[in-house]
Chains A and B, each alone.
Chain A
Amino acid sequence: MSSEWPLWEIFIRGQHGLNHRHVGSLHAPDAEMAIRNARDVYTRRNEGVSIWVVRSNDITASSPSEKGPLFEPSNSKVYRHPTFFDIPEEIGHM
């Protein structure tokens, strides 16, 4: 009989002050074991100060085929970047 443990996505805060970052995934029967396993699999060399685990099934992802239309609205808005504006040199740093 095969009862494969569910897959969990692992997020680790590398240092105080940084966001949790996705580092990979692993199988575990429940959240508590997922955290214990994540400690052994992903932080053997002090890589973390905090761990989040999320069931992979609970993640909703944007679809790669809709990448174009999804991100298109920001493409045309170049004025969102500070370099869009020319500020005279005498003004100095802004």
Chain B
Amino acid sequence: MYAQIVKSEGAKSRDEMSPEEIAFQERIDRGEKIEPKEWMPEGYRKTLVRQIGQHAHSEIVGQLPEGNWITRAPTLERKAILLAKVQDEAGHGLYLYSAAETLGVSRDELLERLHSGNMKYSSIFNYPTLNWADMGAVGWLVDGAAIMNQVPLQRTSYGPYSRAMIRICKEESFHQRQGYDIMMKMCAGTPEQKAMAQDALNRFWYPSLMMFGPSDKDSVHSAQSMAWKIKINTNDELRQKFVDQTVPQAQYLGLTIPDENLAWNEEKGGWDFSEPDWSEFFEVIAGNGPCNAERLGARVKAWDDGAWFREGLMAHAEKAEAARRAAVVAAE
């Protein structure tokens, strides 16, 4: 989801594992957390760097579609709320970058890999936010889908990742509620406002379903990630849970899910629904979504424009440190 397509090494069978790998797998099976300096298979480390990195990038890039509306929020209160929400996302990115760095990759390296297109972020943030109703739809659906994925990841095997997820989950429900609150307000407003809410749902529904990634029930990569407890549920399981949770919420708003095939399935105790257009998903991931160039461009520009500031503060800190040392020497 926030890490939609994470390539990992294929699952190993027990007789292919070294004694260290067997001991490692047994620790995970016992529910022990793996901590930064401890021995881990190279594949575990690499997969985690990709997954946590993708997740961190998604939090940071995810600020852009909402940041777009901070200056145009309809009231001062809505503006303050949206600002706080977007600031939280910056915090989420920072928790996750720190978790990734414990695996031996530097912050600058992660950012360089984002900027060069080498690492991805969630496809959802390559869709435009056209009007205020989109702030409602994003909080309700996009943060809602993110929560679906993040709650089980609190139990992931890698200690720093698990702790970052716990912090993030504590903050996410505010995000989803503020979005739903916007939707409620608009649906109780004029017919035009309600139509805007419906239009936002229409545009964000399938991209939200794509957030969970394509079906991976037969994927060997997923099997390995699940054995390592860095993935807890299949993409399909999470997507189904998301639909089941969201349909009644849409009904309460008096909005229609844009899917003719949506139907309650008594047997499975869940809703049947249409798959999103996966060819669109792969196009967006490949860089050809409506806003890819704009989003990545904004990140690269922020990084380049901030260089003088980062370097200036570092130079100041080094100078102050040198002066402090000189004063200590003089006092002796």
Contacts and interface: CB of A to CB of B under 8 A. Distances in A.
Given A4-B107, A4-B108, A29 B37 contact: no
Contact of B317 (A1, A30, A63): A30
Interface size, B (range): 20 to 34
Given A4-B106, A5-B314, A24-B163, A30 B321 contact: yes
Contact of A64 (B35, B87, B94): B35
Interface in B289-332: 307, 310-311, 313-314, 316-317, 320-321
Contacts of A26: 94, 98
Interface in A1-53: 1-5, 7, 24-27, 29-30, 33, 40-41, 44-45
A54 to B, nearest CB: 14
Contacts of A30: 313, 316-317, 320-321
Interface string B90-128: 010011001001000011100000000000000000000
Contacts of A29: 310, 313-314, 316-317
Contacts of A7: 98, 101
Contacts of B199: none
A25 B37 CA distance: 16
A61 interface: yes
Contacts of A3: 310-311, 314
B236 interface: no
Contacts of A44: 84, 87-88, 91, 171
Interface string A41-82: 100110000000000000001011100000000000000000
B38 interface: yes
Interface of A: 1-5, 7, 24-27, 29-30, 33, 40-41, 44-45, 61, 63-65
Interface of B: 35, 37-39, 84, 87-88, 91, 94-95, 98, 101, 106-108, 163-164, 167, 171, 307, 310-311, 313-314, 316-317, 320-321
Q: Which 8 A-B pairs have the closest CB atoms?
A: A30-B317, A29-B317, A29-B313, A64-B38, A25-B98, A29-B314, A4-B108, A3-B314
Given A30-B317, A30-B320, 15 more contacts: A1-B307, A3-B311, A3-B314, A5-B313, A5-B314, A24-B163, A29-B310, A30-B313, A33-B317, A40-B87, A40-B91, A44-B87, A44-B171, A63-B37, A64-B35
